[in-house]
Chain A
């Protein structure tokens, strides 16, 4: 049995940002390890939405990463980016591109904070402009339910 540490909290701090926060019942060096080790990433990154087929991590400033999953609908979803800041067990800043929309690059800051053996992970997604973020958000509100869910899936994944 795993310890449930609480659910993700998503807020929209400014008109170009999304902030995701989650606490884990584990010290931060382990959260960092699970977050940055390819064979471990493969086990969680797709959530319930598919299978991770590729997880490449070159964890150094200027190094690149690329994740690919095959979603349950059969289509492939791929992301890549470049590491801009790497402080082991503390902080990672990387660019992030959803390959279906290569012009929209986000910058994501991951912060790992430990307290009493528990780790709070914050993920700050900085979009280049409000239009990109709004387009993501608005698109999920349109069309039929299936279409909306497809969009949401892409949106959720594109913002990782």
Chain B
């Protein structure tokens, strides 16, 4: 059943974790490579505690990984938890593409019919 699927808590569900726009921004920044938290604070113009809070949620769902480098903690993206979402969108896209391909055929006929009518 579709609508009775239990809603996962934000902290255990990658999809819900990326529903928050700020967290998507953080992932965007990290997509070009590792950054310390200070970079994120500067680039996103957000208070450090807020950035840390978002990073914690992203780490809990596995979307962000961290390692220590000297005194800094370096954050990087791990895209694997997003694959089910990507796959779902791909499937959804495919079913729409099938539908649109059939519409293309209908439109070609309408164009031909209209062209004939214009020439009559």
Binding site for B on A (CB under 8 A): 2-5, 7-12, 15, 18, 20, 22, 24-26, 30-31, 33-35, 40, 43-49, 100-101, 103-104, 130-132, 134-142, 151-159
- Given A44-B99, A156-B95, CB of A136 within 8 Å of CB of B107: no
Bound complex: CA of A137 vs CA of B86, how far in Å?
Answer: 10
When distances are taken between beta carbons in the complex, the residues of chain A under 8 Å from B19 are: 15, 130, 134
B 60-112 contacts with A by CB, 8 A? 84-85, 87-89, 91-93, 95-108, 110-111
When distances are taken between beta carbons in the complex, the residues of chain A under 8 Å from B117 are: none
Binding site for A on B (CB under 8 A): 1-5, 7-8, 13, 15-16, 19-20, 84-85, 87-89, 91-93, 95-108, 110-111, 114
When distances are taken between beta carbons in the complex, the residues of chain A under 8 Å from B7 are: 131, 134-135
Bound complex: CA of A133 vs CA of B103, how far in Å?
Answer: 26
Bound complex: CA of A159 vs CA of B99, how far in Å?
Answer: 13
When distances are taken between beta carbons in the complex, the residues of chain A under 8 Å from B107 are: 2, 24-26, 30-31, 34
Contact B104 A5 (CB under 8 A): yes
Bound complex: CA of A33 vs CA of B114, how far in Å?
Answer: 12
**Besides the known contacts A101-B2, A152-B92, 11 further A-B residue pairs in the complex with CB atoms under 8 A apart:** A2-B101, A10-B89, A30-B107, A34-B106, A47-B96, A47-B102, A48-B98, A138-B15, A152-B95, A155-B2, A156-B91
Contact A49 B95 (CB under 8 A): yes
Task: Give the distance to chain A from B70, nearest Cβ to Cβ, in Å.
Answer: 37
Contact B84 A8 (CB under 8 A): no
A-B contact pairs, 6 of them (CB 8 A): A7-B100, A22-B97, A26-B107, A141-B87, A155-B92, A158-B2
When distances are taken between beta carbons in the complex, the residues of chain B under 8 Å from A35 are: 103
Contact A22 B100 (CB under 8 A): yes
